Structure 1
Amino acid sequence: MGFFDTILFPFIWFDSAILVGFEWLLVKLGMSDTSGWTWVLAIIGLVITLRALLTPLMIRQIKSQRRLQIVQPELMKIQAKYKGKRDQASQKAMQEETFGLYREAGANPFGACLPILIQMPFFFALFRLLNSAAAVRDGRAEPLGMFNRELATKMADSEIFNAGLTSTFLHDSDLSAKILSAILILIMSATQFITSHQLMRQNMSPEALNSPMARQQQMLIYIFPIIFAVTGVNFPVALLIYWTVSNFWTMGQQFFVIRNMPAPGSPAEEAYRARMAKKGKEAVGIQLKNPKLMAEREAAEAQAATKPTGQRVQPKSKKRAKKR
């Protein structure tokens, strides 16, 4: 077992166990054990299982993103306070105030990356299983995880639309494999772009959309699909199916979240409140972990609302005041 396989050992066992379990179930239901569609459905089952297990983490991520957007005005005030100050003391003070704001709000600026980072080992484990299938079939390698030589051979020989599941766009000369790989890469890149674009345009307030973090995310919207297209030519067809199905899951999940739990001040929240008002229901938003920030904001708004307005009262001299 190589160094890479040692690191991925638990993830390879998890992926192979789910695939073997779904393959056994589908064969029991009457599907052919030599059909590529059996393995495609098993891969879809792997995506559903993994994403379902990650649902609690996704909920925490969603709440963290909401809190980040709620505190965006305070964050912009901190950035304006230290604008142009490049000395070490000012930078340290700004960093402390920023992370103090995150702590009070119960928000994690790196929370959005966590679900992706957790999924990556399972992705690479599946990549390793698919890449080793042909070698196991030919006797050049030992089976990995819960795969035996028979299952690895079936996966290596399985096809859909005359394209092998372990074939790649770059390393196979088969035209069917190239066409199917190209279609899957396009769908994979498109779903990634739509998901990111939907999040930026529908579920971010104007303040959050104009922040430096949002501007960086806008750049990534266009960069990520290009990266996926470039790297996707090296991935087997089965892995492209896994990634595409996972993107569709993310897109559907995000559509549900934006519709039912929109970010404060976003266009999606306006649409949500309009739907609730039409139904005669009260819109429910996500509160901060620490209500201190919300209380301070409400107090400031109340003070501004009660500030005297109207015609200015002219000062009176002592003689005029006494006479009156």
Structure 2
Amino acid sequence: MDVILWPFKWIVSAILWAFHSVFTALGMDPASGLTWVLAIIGLTLVMRTVTIPLFVKQIKSMRGMQELQPEMAKLQAKYKGKKDQLSRQAMAQEQMELYRRTGANPLASCLPILVQMPIFFGLFDVLRNVPNAAGRGEGILVLTPELVKQFNSSYIFNQVPLFSTMLKPGDGNHAMTVAVAALLVILMSASMFYSQKQLGAKNMSDAAKESPIYRQQQIMLYLFPIIFLISGINFPIGVLIYWTISNFWSVGQQYWVIRNNPTPGSQAERELNERRAAKGLPPVGKTKEQHEAEQEAMRERANRGQRVQPVGKKRSKKKNK
């Protein structure tokens, strides 16, 4: 595992060194907890920026999965009750053909988080080794012995070491460490839940919400935050900061995409079209000329459908007089 994580630990240490150097050059205390917290936030922003293309691929793939839901339903109905090996193989081949044709990938939704996991574990390992390396006067890859010593002596609120956890507070204030860690774990889990909730509630079409995939996503919606809520007690404060900031980035990134480029047929698209209509703009995906032509056609159909009220004989005679 150390061999596998080595390049990721090197990347983590290099980015931390770079941001720490920048903030120190700006006049910040090199041993301050705030300086190292900002370096960790810088690491988070770099990684989330790098994974933007994967996020775009994730959105496209999820939309592709939604579009093929009717076809998937037909395929499942076609092979319903057929459990022999040949039928299962044929169904799997037809599913792969659907994925290939639509460009959908069931695993694409996990790409951003999977790419971040090595960095996550790399940061975890770097923080875990800080006290021991500082005690031996050693560096950690790009971080020099002096930087490791400064990192080891940096505290949040002058009481909470960045490498401490709920279970191992180090030489800091135990109660304060537990309080800070608990707050970060709650923020991390809540932001993860909200990020997935807004994606499913607003950015999925009504047809997609009836699919088995949507029901599976609803299970994961609650499962992942619970997992992180429980496992968060073992994460160092620095790792919790990284993951919390990363989740808030996800919330903001998804909000922008859902608001400005929603999935066709979703609630978000209806809301976008309402905002566009208020500004006198055509719906998404239509030119102004197409929208005006549709509106004109609707008015003509409405006029043709209006019923001419019959006039009674007495009213007709009065009108003629």
Which of the five TM-score ranges fits, normalised by the shorter chain? 0.7 to 0.9
Equivalence map 1:135-154=2 (5 Å)? 135-139=132-136, 142-154=138-150
Give yes or no for the alignment of 1:90 onto 2:87. Answer: yes
Give yes or no for the alignment of 1:64 onto 2:68. Answer: no
- Compute the displacement of 1:283 (Å): 4.0
Superposed CA deviations along residues 96-143 of structure 1, whole A, max 9, x for unmatched, are 111111111111111111111111001100001100000001118x43
Match of 2:243 in 1: 243
Q: 1:145 to 1:283 in 2, by over 3 A?
A: farther
Equivalence map 1:10-159=2 (5 Å)? 10-139=7-136, 142-159=138-155
- Where in structure 2 are there 5+ consecutive unaligned residues? 286-321
Superposed CA deviations along residues 266-297 of structure 1, whole A, max 9, x for unmatched, are 11111122222333334445xxxxxxxxxxxx
State percent identity of aligned pairs: 49
Match of 2:272 in 1: 272
- Compute the displacement of 1:64 (Å): 1.4
- Compute the displacement of 1:215 (Å): 1.0
Match of 1:289 in 2: none
- Compute the displacement of 1:59 (Å): 1.1
The TM-score normalised by the length of structure 2 is 0.84
Match of 2:304 in 1: none
- Compute the displacement of 1:94 (Å): 1.5
Superposed CA deviations along residues 51-94 of structure 1, whole A, max 9, x for unmatched, are 11111121122111112112211111111222222222222221
Match of 1:7 in 2: 4
Q: Is the Cα–Cα contact under 8 Å of residues 126 and 140 in structure 2 kept in the other structure?
A: yes
The aligned amino acid for 1:213 is: I
* Runs ≥4 residues deviating over 6 A: none
The aligned amino acid for 1:78 is: L
The aligned amino acid for 2:244 is: T
The TM-score normalised by the length of structure 1 is 0.83
Q: Is the Cα–Cα contact under 8 Å of residues 13 and 141 in structure 2 kept in the other structure?
A: yes
- Where in structure 1 are there 5+ consecutive unaligned residues? 286-324
The aligned amino acid for 1:238 is: G
